[in-house]
């Protein structure tokens, strides 16, 4: 490989950097081009947020308007509603769905038959591999006014008359949490299962000698031992706070619960593909979301550093 | 797995946990079984009893009806085509890149940065959409496939795996004068079958399930993937109910059987391979987890 370079006393740029490494650069080229074209080229597009959009003058033909789009955005009640829903749903996910995955991992760990545990896990993980369109189709069928769940509840005399699960604004948020748990909890628990499997066996033996039962063992050994994993996963989710789950909300929403189901991402979608789209305005919401999201991710990364000594870019 | 020796007798708490976990497994399974049943019964039987788990007089009517509507076969072919091309494209790029970043080359740090920046910042929906329109990719499958080429997550899993392979094999090949391409193809890849299978599954399932890009880029329903047709059928009930005029205007209102049949044909391939390939599915997150 360096046979030709050895003869020259002073290596040229070509012989030093290109000649020995060109196969590696060639391998990187497709990724480089893909990222450059499809990820980096759209980035300057965020500048639209500082322009006045005019369908006539073309995309970037509008005049610079500074922060006017933002000032306008902050006067819109729809925007504040979407932001509020985004935060409420994300925080709800952190407080309800996140502990559910840990709980499931802890419970699964108590199943002694490894075969049954694997079977259960296979079942729990399955819905993760289906799209929200499929899952919404199946769950909407179960949750209909005249669907299976209402039939079951009525037979058991739990409810007097059928519940409108899908189109009651007050039930919508719990519905979002429960259906997401149904779809994702099995998958989310895998990482905690892995952490539990790594706990030192001797700790349990020592606890047993000290007379600690299963519950105490779980509380004082398993949980502290997987605290690091829990913290990292929690922080990663906080960094993701403004992504409240577009796929789920987009497919579970309907006209009646629209005000509860509007999150930043669906708001951007609705604004962008409306009949008379104002691209500058959509870009403004997008940039707002990006900036806050960026700050959150940076914060999350710092915390992840503090806890594990590893940035999440490396940990992810 | 032998865990926590001693305390072998089954306690009440233990039994409770087993019952709870089994109940949850049923909660996951029953909706699918219910959907399967509904797809095989007539609308009348469905209206009579919501809790049938076994159809009294099974019928294939719903399946026959959706196959007659004309969207099913093209949609299947579209989805298969997108998934196959997408897989070939993604696996090629990600394998090449994952191997390349395990090498030492000048500018490596810079390339890492180039990979990492998109994790923190992106142009967002509108600029990306407008770029696609400008590049003339609207209404092409390239718009669905090309942007998905590089995945930091897959890259990380694969390059971690490549790094853990014994270095001696590669060194001896290098001494024998093998090129980088040769080493990757004849030494690294044959040893990486399991990680390739895992990533391939993720990529294929990802393309099979993707719908948003098709929704915004593909206008003609004949070019739609399965997922978009399913979405149309599921949501049709609501929009039909919203304005009664539609209902009067002789628009087919899909029965629950047709809806569930459509759900099942869309998820059929995943349903079929999942039980057998489940270990590969779980492996992906495990490789990621060990590192984190």
Residue A88 lies in a domain: yes
* pLDDT number for residue A310: 62
Q: Are residues A101 and A28 in the same domain?
A: no
Question: Rounded mean pLDDT of chain B?
Answer: 86
Domain with CATH 1.10.3720.10 in chain B: 65-291
Interface membership of A60 toward B (CB under 8 Å): no
Q: Are residues A10 and A81 in the same domain?
A: no
| B105–A232 CB contact, under 8 Å | no
The CATH number of domain B65-291, selected from 1.10.540.10, 1.10.1740.10, 1.10.3720.10, 2.30.130.10:
1.10.3720.10
Q: List chain A residues with CB under 8 Å of B284.
A: none
A315 has a pLDDT exceeding 50: no
| B120–A217 CB contact, under 8 Å | no
Closest CA to B123 of A311, A37, A301, A60: A37
Q: Are residues A141 and A242 in the same domain?
A: yes
Mean pLDDT of the region A230-242: 87
Between A147 and A35, where is the model more confident? A35
Mean pLDDT of the region B172-176: 88
pLDDT bin (cut points 50, 70, 90) of residue A282 is confident
* pLDDT number for residue B290: 46
* pLDDT number for residue B1: 42
Helices (H), A148-276: 148-155, 169-197, 201-209, 214-217, 223-225, 227-239, 246-252, 258-261, 264-272
Element spanning B85, H or E? helix B72-100
> Can you list the pairs that B274-281 forms with residues at least 24 positions away whose Cβ atoms lie under 8 Å?
B274/A126, B274/A129, B275/A122, B277/B197, B277/B201, B278/A122, B278/A125, B280/B194, B280/B197, B280/B198, B280/B201, B281/A125, B281/A129, B281/B198, B281/B201, B281/B202
Best residue in A19, A41, A42 for a mutation probing chain B (most B CBs within 10 Å):
A42
DSSP secondary structure code for residue A60 in this structure: T
Between A5 and A164, where is the model more confident? A164
* Radius of gyration for the alpha carbons in chain A, expressed in angstroms and rounded: 26
Contact A185, A107 (CB under 8 A): no
pLDDT bin (cut points 50, 70, 90) of residue A13 is confident
Q: Are residues A89 and A27 in the same domain?
A: no
Which residue reads 């073309």 in tokens? Answer: A58
pLDDT bin (cut points 50, 70, 90) of residue A65 is confident
Q: How many CB atoms lie within 10 A of CB A113?
A: 11
Q: Are residues A173 and A276 in the same domain?
A: yes
Residue A21 lies in a domain: yes
A312 has a pLDDT exceeding 60: no
> For the ranges A13-17, A123-127, B67-71, B96-100, which has the lowest average pLDDT?
A13-17
Q: What ipTM was estimated for this complex? A: 0.89
Which residue reads 């009664």 in tokens? Answer: B244
B2 has a pLDDT exceeding 90: no
| B286–A232 CB contact, under 8 Å | no
Best residue in B95, B106, B127, B153 for a mutation probing chain A (most A CBs within 10 Å):
B127
> For the ranges A48-52, A60-64, B83-87, which has the lowest average pLDDT?
A60-64
Q: Are residues A27 and A97 in the same domain?
A: no
pLDDT bin (cut points 50, 70, 90) of residue B5 is very low
- In B, residues 227-266, which contact A (CB 8 Å cutoff)? 227, 230-231, 234, 238, 242, 256, 259-260, 262-263, 266
Q: How many CB atoms lie within 10 A of CB B286?
A: 17
The terminus-to-terminus CA distance of chain A in angstroms comes to: 36
- The C-alpha atoms of residue A265 and residue A289 are separated, in whole angstroms, by 9
Q: Using CA atoms in the order B252, B258, B263, B265, what is the torsion angle rounded to 10 degrees?
A: -110
| pLDDT 10s digits, A206-225 | 988 888 888 888 989 999 99
Q: What pTM was estimated for this model as a whole?
A: 0.89
Residue A277 lies in a domain: yes
Distances (CA, A) of B291 to A229, A315, B133: 11, 7, 40
| pLDDT 10s digits, A170-196 | 999 999 999 999 999 999 999 999 899
- In A, residues 201-220, which contact B (CB 8 Å cutoff)? 201, 204-205, 208, 213-215, 217
| pLDDT 10s digits, A83-113 | 999 999 999 999 999 999 999 999 999 998 9
pLDDT bin (cut points 50, 70, 90) of residue B250 is very low
* pLDDT number for residue A276: 76
DSSP secondary structure code for residue B125 in this structure: H
Mean pLDDT of the region B234-246: 59
Mean pLDDT of the region B198-211: 94
B95 has a pLDDT exceeding 90: yes
| pLDDT 10s digits, A118-132 | 999 999 999 999 999
> For the ranges A118-127, B65-74, B252-261, which has the lowest average pLDDT?
B252-261
Q: List chain B residues with CB under 8 Å of A191.
A: 285, 288-289, 292
Q: Measure in Å the smallest separation between the Cα of B271 and chain A Cα atoms.
A: 8
A243: left (phi over 0), alpha (psi -120 to 50) or beta: beta
Count structural domains, chain A.
2
Q: Are residues A14 and A144 in the same domain?
A: no
Mean pLDDT of the region B100-112: 91
Q: Could you give the percent of chain A with pLDDT greater than 70?
A: 92
Domain residue limits at A15:
5-39
Q: How many CB atoms lie within 10 A of CB B143?
A: 23
Question: Rounded mean pLDDT of chain A?
Answer: 87
| A124–B121 CB contact, under 8 Å | no
Q: Are residues A251 and A129 in the same domain?
A: yes
* pLDDT number for residue B288: 52
**A136 Cβ contact partners less than 8 Å away, ≥ 6 residues apart:** A248, A251, A252, B234
Q: Are residues A155 and A235 in the same domain?
A: yes
Minimum Cα–Cα distance from B272: chain A residue:
A126
A164: left (phi over 0), alpha (psi -120 to 50) or beta: beta
Residue A10 lies in a domain: yes
* pLDDT number for residue B280: 76
Q: Are residues A22 and A75 in the same domain?
A: no
* pLDDT number for residue A108: 95
- The C-alpha atoms of residue A78 and residue A281 are separated, in whole angstroms, by 13
| pLDDT 10s digits, A245-278 | 999 999 999 888 998 999 999 999 998 887 777 8
Contact B183, A1 (CB under 8 A): no
Please tell me which of the candidates B18, B116, B119 has its beta carbon nearest to residue A111: B18
């Amino acid at each position: 490989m360096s046979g030709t370079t050895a003869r020259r006393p002073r290596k040229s740029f070509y012989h030093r950097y290109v000649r020995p490494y060109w196969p590696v650069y060639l391998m990187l080229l497709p990724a480089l081009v893909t990222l450059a074209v499809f990820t980096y080229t759209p980035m300057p597009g965020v500048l639209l947020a500082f322009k006045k959009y005019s369908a006539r003058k073309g995309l970037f033909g509008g005049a610079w308007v500074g922060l006017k789009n933002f000032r306008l955005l902050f006067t819109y009640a729809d925007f504040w509603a979407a932001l509020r829903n985004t935060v409420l749903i994300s925080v709800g996910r952190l407080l309800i769905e996140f502990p559910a995955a840990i709980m499931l991992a802890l419970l699964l760990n108590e199943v002694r038959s490894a075969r049954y545990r694997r079977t259960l896990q296979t079942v729990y993980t399955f819905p993760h591999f289906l799209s929200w369109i499929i899952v919404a189709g199946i769950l909407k069928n179960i949750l209909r006014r005249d669907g299976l769940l209402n039939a079951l509840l009525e037979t058991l005399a739990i409810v007097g008359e059928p519940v409108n699960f899908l189109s009651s604004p007050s039930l919508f948020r719990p519905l979002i949490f429960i259906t997401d748990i149904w779809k994702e909890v099995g998958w989310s628990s895998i990482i905690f299962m892995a952490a539990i499997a790594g706990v030192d066996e001797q700790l349990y033996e020592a606890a047993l000698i000290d007379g600690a039962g299963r519950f105490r063992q779980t509380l004082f050994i398993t949980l502290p031992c997987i605290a690091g994993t829990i913290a990292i996963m929690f922080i990663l989710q906080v960094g993701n706070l403004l992504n409240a789950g577009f796929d789920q909300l987009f497919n579970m929403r309907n006209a009646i619960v629209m005000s509860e189901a509007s999150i930043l991402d669906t708001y951007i979608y609705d604004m962008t593909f409306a009949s008379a789209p104002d691209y500058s305005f959509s870009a403004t919401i997008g940039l707002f979301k990006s900036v806050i999201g960026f700050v959150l991710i940076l914060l999350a990364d710092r915390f992840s550093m503090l806890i594990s000594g590893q940035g999440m870019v490396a940990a992810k | 797995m032998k865990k926590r020796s001693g305390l072998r007798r089954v306690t009440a708490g233990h039994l409770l946990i087993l019952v709870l976990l089994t109940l949850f497994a049923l909660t996951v399974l029953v909706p699918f079984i219910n959907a399967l049943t509904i797809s095989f019964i007539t609308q009348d039987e469905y209206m009579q009893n919501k809790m049938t788990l076994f159809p009294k007089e099974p019928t294939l009517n719903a399946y026959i009806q959706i196959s007659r509507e004309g969207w099913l076969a093209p949609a299947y072919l579209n989805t298969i085509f997108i998934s196959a091309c997408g897989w070939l494209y993604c696996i090629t790029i990600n394998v090449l890149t994952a191997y390349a970043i395990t090498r030492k080359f000048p500018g490596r740090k810079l390339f890492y940065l180039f990979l990492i920046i998109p994790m923190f910042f992106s142009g967002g929906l509108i600029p990306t959409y407008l770029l696609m329109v400008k590049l003339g990719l609207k209404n092409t499958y390239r718009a669905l496939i090309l942007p998905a080429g590089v995945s930091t997550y897959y890259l990380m899993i694969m390059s971690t795996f490549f790094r853990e392979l014994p270095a001696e094999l590669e060194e001896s090949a290098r001494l024998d004068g093998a090129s980088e391409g040769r080493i990757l193809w004849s030494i690294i890849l044959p040893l990486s079958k399991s990680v390739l299978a895992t990533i391939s599954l993720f990529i294929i399932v990802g393309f099979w399930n993707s719908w948003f890009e098709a929704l915004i880029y593909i206008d003609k329903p004949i070019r739609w993937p399965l997922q978009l047709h399913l979405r149309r059928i599921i949501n049709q009930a609501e929009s039909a109910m919203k304005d009664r005029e539609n209902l009067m205007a002789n628009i087919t209102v899909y029965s629950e059987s047709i809806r569930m049949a459509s759900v099942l044909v869309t998820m059929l391939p995943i349903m079929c391979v999942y039980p057998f390939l489940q270990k590969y599915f779980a492996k992906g997150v495990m490789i990621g987890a060990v590192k984190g």
